[in-house]
Amino acid sequence: MITRRQSLALAAGSLAAGWAGASAAQAAPSLHDLAQRSGRRFGSAVGAGAPGTLTASFDNARYRQLLERECGVLVHENELKWYVLRPEADRFVFGPADRIAGFAAERGMGLRGHTLIWHHPQWFPAWTTTHDYGARPAAEVERLVLEHIDAIIDRYGAIDSWDVINEAVDPADGSLRVTPFSQRMGGPEAVMDLAFRRAREKAPGAQLVYNDYMSWEAGHETHQAGVLRLLEGFRARGVPCDALGVQSHIGSGNADDSVGFDTARDDNWRRFLDEVVGMGYDLVITEFDVHDRNLPADVPARDAAVAALARRYLDLMLSYPQMGDILCWGLSDQHTWLQDRWLRDDRLPKRPTPYDADYRPKPLREAIAAALRDATPRRTA
Complex with ligand 9MR: residue 165 or 372, whichever CB lies closer: 165
Minimal distance, residue 273 CB to ligand 9MR, in Å: 19
Stretch that binds ligand 9MR, among 64-72, 75-83, 343-351, 360-368 (CB under 6 A): 75-83
Q: Does 78 bind ligand 9MR (CB under 6 A)?
A: yes
Complex with ligand 9MR: residue 163 or 303, whichever CB lies closer: 163
Minimal distance, residue 211 CB to ligand 9MR, in Å: 7
Contact of 149 with 116, CB cutoff 8 Å: yes
Q: Does 55 bind ligand 9MR (CB under 6 A)?
A: yes
C-alpha dist (Å) from residue 228 to 114, 183, 207, 233, 271: 21, 23, 19, 8, 11
Count the helices and strands in the chain (H runs, E runs): 14, 9
Complex with ligand 9MR: residue 88 or 201, whichever CB lies closer: 88
Minimal distance, residue 78 CB to ligand 9MR, in Å: 5
C-alpha dist (Å) from residue 198 to 89, 97, 152, 178: 19, 21, 12, 21
Stretch that binds ligand 9MR, among 63-71, 73-81, 229-237, 256-264 (CB under 6 A): 73-81
> Judged by CB under 6 A, which of 59, 142, 257, 287 binds ligand 9MR?
287
Contact of 123 with 83, CB cutoff 8 Å: yes
Contact of 322 with 25, CB cutoff 8 Å: no
Backbone Cα Rg of the chain: 20
Dihedrals phi, psi of 185, to nearest 5 degrees? -105, 5
> Judged by CB under 6 A, which of 59, 70, 77, 282 binds ligand 9MR?
77
Cis peptide before 115 (omega within 30 of 0): yes
Q: Does 337 bind ligand 9MR (CB under 6 A)?
A: yes
- Contacts to ligand 9MR from residues 164-193, by CB under 6 A: 166
Complex with ligand 9MR: residue 23 or 129, whichever CB lies closer: 129
Q: Among 305, 297, 284, which Cα is nearest to 362's?
A: 305
- Contacts to ligand 9MR from residues 198-217, by CB under 6 A: 213
Contact of 381 with 41, CB cutoff 8 Å: no
- Contacts to ligand 9MR from residues 218-257, by CB under 6 A: 247
Residues that bind ligand 9MR (CB under 6 A): 55, 77-78, 81, 123, 166, 213, 247, 287, 337
